[in-house]
Amino acid sequence: MTVTEQRPSGEVGRDRRRKEDARLITGRTTWTDNLSLPGMLHLAILRSPMAHARITGIDVTAAREMTAVVDVFTGRDVADVQGSLPCAWTVTPDLKHPDHPPLAVDEVRFAGEPIAVVAARDWASALDALEAIDVDYEPLPAVLDMEAALADGAPLVHDSLGTNKAFTWVFDSAEAGTGGDLADALAQAEVVVRRRYVQQRLIPAFMEPRSVVVDPTPDQITMWSSTQVPHFVRFFLAALLGTPEHKIRVIAPDVGGGFGGKLQITAEEFITFLTAQRLHKPVKYTESRSESMLAAHHGRDMIQEVEIGARRDGTVTGLGVRLLANMGGYLRLLTPATPLLGRYMYNGIYKFPAHRFECTGVFTTTTPTDAYRGAGRPEATFAIERAMDDLAAELGMEPMELRRRNWIRHDEFPFTTVTGLTYDSGDYEAATERAMELFRYDELRREQQERRHRGDRVQLGVGISTYTEMCGLAPSRWLGSLGYAAGGWESASVRMLPTGKVEVLTGTTPHGQGHETVWSQIVADQLGVPFEDVEVMHGDTRTSHKGLDTYGSRSLAVGGYALVEACRRVVEKARPMAAHMLECDPADLEFVDGQFRVRGAPGAAKSITECALAIFAAHDLPDGVEPYLDADASYDPVDFSFPHGTHLCAVEVDTETGMATIRSYVAVDDVGRAVNPLIVEGQVHGGVAQGIAQALFEEARYDEDGNLMTGTFVEYTIPSASDLPDLVTDRTETPAPGHPLGAKGVGEAGTIASTPAVVNAVVDALRPLGVTDVRMPCTPERVWSTIQAARSANGGEPR
Amino acid sequence: MTRISMTVDGVRYDDDVEPRTLLVQHLRDRLGKVGTVVGCDTSNCGACTVLLSGKSVKSCSILAVQADSADVTTIEGLAGDGGELHPVQAAFHEQHGLQCGYCTPGMIMAAVDLLTENAEPTDAEIREGLEGNLCRCTGYQNIVRAVRAAAESMRTSVPSTPETAEAGAREGVTT
């Protein structure tokens, strides 16, 4: 069933326009950088211009003398109090976890690492004073290439570790008892395809640069931060800097995008906090875009070696994956875990009987990597979907047909895969059928054949990505068993005020997702109150103090569950009051559309809002009923959420110029039941755009000395409106069986699905020329060079 | 310090500014017009776009002193005196043309200028016209839809309502 056939009666399923928009379209938003407090000082941070160097001297005397400068300090000045930035995921017991001082003390390990801080009465004076700081560096060798970094005798990023290897993590289905032995499977395979794919380094590039304001009052220290994770920030400030947790309040006001890039405990947060404590004054730090590109964490940057064994009929028999993952100079919050979040997904939607996965994390003198939209899963999906296309080419089989022969059929769910995950639901056939219909798959294949036959200069490629992903992070027990420091539950508090209006506190922290709107829709249905009567509050540890924030497409999948449960408890708290007023047994009441009705007695009814007022007045409360109508609930998921879908992309490649242009793109996603289809569609649009950006446009590059060459939007080319196609989107709905609303996560799905669809299309266009891979991003230069290389390898003739 | 005078969102301001002060810094830091935001330092992102004497300009790319005697409209001055939204603002809301909203002030101001120059743009002209404004959330699709809807409503001068927009925005398969 496709969603366009549905006509929702309640709020859930309706294209509600967003509550958030009113302030955002009128410029009345509270971005952190908008805050101005009496006596507030402005920070500027001096950053290392070297990728790797010893700091042999810093002279801040001249800077201290400058007009309006209040304080200048270095890492050495705060070495005893600045702590070390946290890594929350000990992926292996022997994980190498070097100290990560917020301000470098003796050595810098990536260009952009903070070295010294100026606090001044105004921002321009702080910047001016940076120029007057004198730093002496003794250059050390840059370590950039992961494979070279692992070689014997390679220069070390951290001398004290004795190695550049952070960890090696292995999964073997034979050892785990979830499948057969990979070596046996490959030895017996009739065909083995081996490929090496490169996941280039990306920069999340949220539009709002990071900003922090800290106000150290004698009662409490308040931090406003442009973060996805205020609850995490408060915990780590308390745990690592010694200020008691109850004396810290962290607020994420309006946050201008994150995409995982603000899922971090940052050096800048620590530095601003320390400065405010040191000077007993409010302090603000806002990064420039150039600083953001250098110092906010990057994403991806992996080398993937994939081998698939199969029979001649296309049945896959084994999957081997070896990953090298670039950690950068230090481990940040989830740096080592990010590549491993993909490790359950390399098998995709296919029934592999044997699997081995190995991942090695490598230190280099580059900006640390960490979560970026999809975090591990886009990489996994890319590898398997690219490799399935390559296997199809090897077998001379239609790539969709190869997928059909190997995917989990809709009647096989729940299905336990070779990695040990149990996929709860899905209908890959339905999503694929719908996508192929919208895409006019067969017509495009015919046109492709005609162009190939004619030898057209512009060739047409068709790219497929049939994906699933695991999201809704995450079951606490699972996280704990894998060495993660926190849990994965979520909470909601719902309170009905005496006038019947409703306040909701959520532990999720939206930064563009529209939780205020979607949560209002859910509450409106659950309590039978108008959408407009619900106010949703989030992102402040003082008010919504119980929560684990927003990332990993978890907010609706986990937080939405808690919200439904909190509403149910509110109804149950109101029930005795309604029964008391109606002089009946509570069990005789049914609750429909906000009314308690006596079964079998039409007309006898009390609304929940009447109950709220009567409870508040407390003049005649039944025994045991408290004088307020509110409830808390939490939810710890028992398993992940498994959205899936089929994305199809048609690309025209000009074989003379190398220009690859997307001609059409169809995305049919199954995210279970959509609470707000308009918002779901927006998430898919944005997700697909970021996936296309990886395929065609974006790459963070370093020169041989470790200088970031893509440090501004001039060189790091995030796509503009004219670079992107109009997408055709639709959904199938296979409700998530374990969720009260049937909803699955959607925030990352588009990004996870789209990159391989685009690159498969580019490669598909060029296969007759002998091209088997194009390294991302598939820029005209790279496509052209790949074509030239293939032509010369084939003696100038098409294969 | 240089004395400048400018009208911003209908209010006249006289100030002494450092010659190096950018217009966007002047608007935000001196005049408190924080609805206009900064997204980059290379004039690529367009988040700081305002109207200067009716034409869109990236307010990070000119100095405050260059805007002496100018009439500046920011996102905060776009709605009517009674708070009624400009058709472009209304369309961004109705067509879900924003997510995090950080690029939105600049995007809306650029779109207003675009529609002043071309009342009936094609989708391709909209995409080209907004090339200088970057958005990381929406993939631009609903922004294009919003500008198209705003153009339509400005031509017909019938204010579109959420109800009519809801009916029109998602007919069958969405493109």
Contact assignment for B79 to A22 by CB distance below 8 Å: no
Nearest Cα to Cα of residue A759 among A778, A786, A783, A785: A778
Across the interface, of B36, B93, B102, the residue whose CB is closest to A256 is B102
pLDDT in the model for residue A300: 98
Contact assignment for B41 to A288 by CB distance below 8 Å: yes
Low-confidence residues in chain A, pLDDT < 50: 1-6
- Measured on CA atoms in the order A318, A324, A330, A335, is the torsion positive or negative? negative
Is residue A594 one of the residues assigned to a domain?
A: yes
Task: Show residues of chain B in contact with A688, CB under 8 Å.
Answer: 139
Across the interface, of A208, A259, A514, the residue whose CB is closest to B102 is A208
Task: List all residues of chain A from 711 to 750 with a beta carbon under 8 Å from chain B.
Answer: 712-714, 718, 720-722, 724, 726-730
List the structure tokens of A686: 């944005």
- Distance from A453 to chain B by nearest Cα, in Å? 32
What does the buried/exposed string (b/e) look like for A106-123 if buried means 16 or more CB atoms within 10 Å of the residue's CB? ebbbbbbbbbbbbbbbeb
Across the interface, of B18, B41, B99, the residue whose CB is closest to A686 is B99
Task: Show residues of chain B in contact with A720, CB under 8 Å.
Answer: 127, 130-134, 140
What does the buried/exposed string (b/e) look like for B61-85 if buried means 16 or more CB atoms within 10 Å of the residue's CB? ebbbbebeebebbbbbbbbeeeeeb
pLDDT in the model for residue B166: 47
Does position B165 have pLDDT exceeding 80, yes or no? no
Q: At what angle do helices B141-156 and A677-696 cross, to 10 degrees?
A: 120
pLDDT in the model for residue A603: 87
Which ipTM was obtained for this model?
0.96
Residue A325 CB burial class (10 angstroms; 0-12, 13-18, ≥19): buried
Contact assignment for B38 to A718 by CB distance below 8 Å: no
Task: Show residues of chain B in contact with A259, CB under 8 Å.
Answer: 136
Is residue A262 one of the residues assigned to a domain?
A: no
Across the interface, of B42, B98, B175, the residue whose CB is closest to A726 is B175
pLDDT in the model for residue A8: 62
pLDDT in the model for residue B158: 52
- Distance from A727 to chain B by nearest Cα, in Å? 6
Across the interface, of A34, A512, A714, the residue whose CB is closest to B34 is A34
Closest CA in chain A for residue B98 = A21
Nearest Cα to Cα of residue A16 among A730, A732, A679: A679
Here the CATH number for the domain that contains residue A517 is 3.30.365.10
Number of structural domains, chain A?
Answer: 1
Q: How many angstroms separate the CA atoms of A609 and A496, rounded?
A: 8
CATH 3.30.460.30 is right for the domain spanning B2-77: no
pLDDT tens figures, A655-685 = 999 999 999 999 999 999 999 999 999 999 9
Kindly state whether A513 is in contact with chain B, defined as any CB-CB distance less than 8 angstroms: yes
Across the interface, of B18, B75, B140, the residue whose CB is closest to A721 is B140
For the domain covering B87-168, report its CATH number: 1.10.150.120
Contact assignment for A677 to B132 by CB distance below 8 Å: no
Q: Is the peptide bond before A474 cis (omega within 30 degrees of 0)?
A: yes
Dump strand ranges (E) for A376-457: 415-416, 422-423
pLDDT tens figures, A134-163 = 999 999 999 999 999 999 999 999 999 999
Is residue A495 one of the residues assigned to a domain?
A: yes
Kindly state whether A677 is in contact with chain B, defined as any CB-CB distance less than 8 angstroms: yes
Domain ranges of chain B: 2-77, 87-168
Report CA A373 to chain centroid distance, whole Å. Answer: 3
Contact assignment for B99 to A512 by CB distance below 8 Å: yes
Tell me which residue range forms the domain holding A594. 489-635
Is residue A763 one of the residues assigned to a domain?
A: no
Is residue A616 one of the residues assigned to a domain?
A: yes
Contact assignment for B35 to A726 by CB distance below 8 Å: no
Is residue A701 one of the residues assigned to a domain?
A: no
Closest CA in chain B for residue A36 = B29
